[in-house]
Amino acid sequence: MSWGHDEYVYQMLKDYLPEEGLYMLRYHSFYAWHREGGYDHLLDDHDRKMLKWVQLFNPYDLYSKIPNHLIGTNSGPIMKILYRNICHQL
Ligand SMILES: [Fe+2]
Helix spans in 1-90 (H): 5-13, 19-26, 31-34, 45-57, 77-87
Mean pLDDT (the chain, rounded): 83
Ligand 1 mean position, distance from CA 28 (Å): 6
**What is the rounded CA–CA span in Å between residue 55 and residue 16?**
21
Ligand 1 mean position, distance from CA 41 (Å): 25
Ligand 1 mean position, distance from CA 12 (Å): 14
Ligand 1 mean position, distance from CA 25 (Å): 8
For the chain, give every domain's residue range. Answer: 5-65
Q: What is the pLDDT of residues 56-65, one digit of tens each?
A: 998 887 655 5
Q: What is the pLDDT of residues 43-55, one digit of tens each?
A: 999 999 999 999 9
Query: Are the C-beta atoms of 56 and 24 separated by less than 8 Å?
Result: yes
Q: Angle CA(42)–CA(45)–CA(51) in degrees, nearest 5?
A: 80
